[in-house]
Structure 1
């Protein structure tokens, strides 16, 4: 994980293809929990590890191809950088924002990932999923119940592919926008640190980082975990933090923001697994 903290998975399964995944899930005891994992960026894995099976979509699911002048077919394991650069080469604009999100298509679709004024719901046409039962379904964007950083995807469902639709654009214009986003991200975020990305959702009409800053939390520490001095909506592992330190620091921040502003910050980072 990006925090370099937390326990191990009980079982790890890397399917060879969608047929392999569907057959595996159909044969698996329904009582065994299943969690899909992309790059593990927006995630705190608790110190006791993850029970059940973690499904990691590897190379077979990391392909991206243009299927017409404005449409991309993307594997669930493809990175945001691969999606946006393939779109650029094909002259398809609109997915540049994915360049800035450290994760994979499956996670973007599940969380309605977004940055720099755009969200997955703005470009998604449909996605293919495998349910926990092994059944396969194709869901249109309207089936996903998207709100801010949330979808109605069923628990245990794995997103194996997605279709994104953009608009015609010059590759040089797309590249310029990708460069602008990359520079803005480099300037404002602690990219060289062990961090999990944006920690809290922005409340309506507010910026989470500003609320955290106003509550006096910049640089706040718990064990080896710290609120980033560079961007206060990022938690970092300064070296030897446990996942318990990181999660407890997040709860400290939430309590201070509540006391200072009356606002309940919601976690954006997913917390999974068992405490030690």
Structure 2
């Protein structure tokens, strides 16, 4: 075996000013509260630290970027390579005129609140999107009739070799719950456009969104948000309900009885329980409707050996 392969991954990585943590637990940082560790977790001190790391890291080391892991399932075997988590240094929000600058680590809800306070409308849908701006860009997140592509003016990214780019919405090829951005791009910030309105008017719309969420979604449960994308012309929750999956369980995982497009960790679920339950839902929906549901939740990492029906 070569000397390189005798080294732990962390010993092969460049020095940073932020934090590099080997075998870092991830479960407590995910909304599902499940999953194995990151081989190495990197929290950059700032943009320069992130740039230097991506420029100098070994080319064969895979990188995965996560935010607050609200629409993410980390598999039980953990995530190989380096997991980058963009924290407070990447969470700035600034509103000027009809534009808002939002760092990739900024919570969508905080961006919506900042816009409401500044009297900028059109972005209140973000208060109903769990997660960060970076994640919203990666999947063109949306809710309540609007999505990121409707309000995006441009975004800054850094690629896997450390090169900085400024991209337009057209270059991101955004469509329903999809971005055409290369996998090695790390989003740094976005510029979003709104419409000046009275702060009270924007706040009232946000309050209405929150009331609807609380009434229709299991937001206080250990969940990962919407599990499957809506197929064209259909609602995923209705297809799941018609397939008899409301309340369906596997191990410690359950299909929500309040909203069937949500999976819930009842307290002792594994990632395999949740993913296996999701695959069972997909199978039943296809049997009853002929429609193949597509995962909206992003699944990362490796399953533990011997988990039936789940492949990396």
Establish whether TM, by shorter chain, passes 0.5.
yes
What's the offset of the Cα at 1:69? 1.1
Structure 2 matches for 1:130-169, cutoff 5 A? 130-169=158-197
Residue number among 108, 116, 121 corresponding to 2:136 in the alignment? 108
Count of aligned pairs: 275
- State how far apart, in whole Å, the 1-side matches of 2:292 and 2:210 are: 30
Deviations 1:25-51 (A, max 9, x none): 111111111111111010110000000
Larger relative CO (CA 8 A, sep 6+): 1 or 2?
A: 1
For 1:33 and 1:50, locate their aligned partners in 2 and report how far apart those are by CA, in whole Å: 10
The aligned runs of 1:260-271 (5 Å cut-off) are: 260-271=288-299
SS in 1 for 2:200: helix
- In structure 1, C-alpha distance between the alignment counterparts of 2:224 and 2:163, rounded to whole Å: 32
Could you tell me which residue of structure 2 aligns to residue 273 of structure 1? 301
Runs of 4+ more than 3 Å apart:
none
- Aligned CA RMSD, in angstroms, stands at 0.6
Partner of 2:118: 90
> What's 1:50 paired with?
79
Match of 1:239 among 267, 270, 277: 267
Q: Give the counterpart of 1:207 among 193, 215, 235.
A: 235
Superposed displacement of residue 82, structure 1: 1.0
What secondary structure is seen at the aligned counterpart in 2 of 1:74? strand
Establish whether residue 28 from structure 1 lines up as the match of residue 57 from structure 2: yes
Rg larger in structure: 2
Once residues 72 and 2 of structure 1 are traced to their aligned partners in structure 2, the CA distance between those partners, rounded to angstroms, is 27
1:88-146 deviation digits (Å, cap 9, x = unpaired): 11111011000011100000011100000000000111110011111110101111011
SS in 2 for 1:30: coil
**TM-score with structure 1 setting the length:** 0.99
**What 5-or-longer segments of structure 2 have no aligned partner?**
1-29, 305-312
Work out which of the residue numbers 224, 237, 247 in structure 2 matches 1:219: 247
Contact kept in structure 2, 1:36 and 1:156, CA below 8 Å: no
User: 2 CA distance for matches of 1:63 and 1:145?
Assistant: 25
User: Retained in 2: the 8 A contact 1:149–1:268?
Assistant: yes
- Structure 1: which 5+ residue stretches go unaligned? none
Instruction: Determine the C-alpha separation between the residues in 2 that align with 1:30 and 1:107.
Output: 24
Q: Quote the residue 2:287 is aligned against.
A: 259
